[in-house]
Structure 1
Amino acid sequence: MVRSLDGLVLAPVADQAPGQVGTRTRFTYHEKDGEIWAEYAGGDVVRGHLVGTRREDRLDFRYVQLKTDGTTSSGHCVSTVVELPDGRVRLEEAWQWESQAGSGTSVVEQVTEPGP
């Protein structure tokens, strides 16, 4: 199993559609006893939260976010935790909105600086 996500900061490697998370979004992860949660913000997201579970290298969580236009949205995501050759962590994600139509995949990777 890849090391704990607790205290790690991750960011998307590519921008999603406008109004969603993007390369300027930063996720700060926490983990304890199989529980995971994170706060995120940046880009079009004013504030977001996710909460769920980790079983080995699989995360299963729900997320909710407030966007700069004042709207909210929520969804479900399943991620695979991968350790990169340089020791950083990558999450390979499959997500689906629950508050609106849409689904997709994304990749977030550990960053060493807070970002923009």
Structure 2
Amino acid sequence: MARSLDGLVFVPTADQAPGQVGRQTRFEYHEQDGRVWAEYSGGDVVKGHLIGTRADDTIDFRYVQLRPDGTTASGHCVSRVTELPDGRLRLEETWTWESQDGSGTSTVEQPLG
């Protein structure tokens, strides 16, 4: 898969724990020459940024976000880019907090319409 993420919007398919991304969070991705970055906000995230690299269908990035209570959190994520049957892209993510305990998986995909 070589489809660029540049200019694409992604949304979570499910809510995560409080203080994390959820269905109200929107990610706006950018990609250029193997570099990937995004801004995100919504739900329990006032403002977030991620930055990393892409090799084929794998994105490796760090993220940092500001929560409504003024605290920040950061971590590391590896995502696999897949294409859904209808042509939308999905990112299957495995993440680990670096600023606190915890890890998990999540899925974001291009919204319908």
Q: Normalised by the size of structure 1, how large is the TM-score?
A: 0.95
Give how far 1:42 is off: 0.1
Structure 2 unaligned runs (5+)?
Answer: none
Alignment-derived partner of residue 3 in structure 2 = 3
**Equivalent in the alignment of 1:26:** 26
Query: For residue 17 of structure 1, what is the aligned residue in structure 2?
Result: 17
Residue 53 of structure 1: aligned partner:
53
How big is each residue's C-alpha offset from its partner over 1:35-71, in whole Å with a ceiling of 9 and x where there is no partner? 0000000001000000000000000000000001110
Native 8 Å contact 1:58 1:81 kept in 2: yes
In the alignment, is the contact (CA less than 8 A) between 1:57 and 1:81 conserved in 2?
yes
Structure 1: gaps of 5 or more residues? none
* DSSP-derived class of the 1:101 partner: coil
Name the structure 1 match of 2:73.
Answer: 73
Greater CA drift, 92-101 or 1-10: 1-10
| RMSD between superposed Cα atoms in Å | 0.9
Contact 1:9 1:112 in 2 (8 A): no
Quick one: percent identity of the two aligned structures?
73
- Equivalents in 2 of 1:83, 1:8: separation in Å? 13
What is the CA distance between 1:13 and its match in structure 2? Answer: 0.2
Contact 1:2 1:81 in 2 (8 A): no
Q: In 1, distance between residues paired with 2:10 and 2:25?
A: 9
Cα distance in 2 for partners of 1:2, 1:83 equals: 11
Shift of 1:93: 0.3
**Superposition TM-score, scaled by structure 2 size:** 0.98
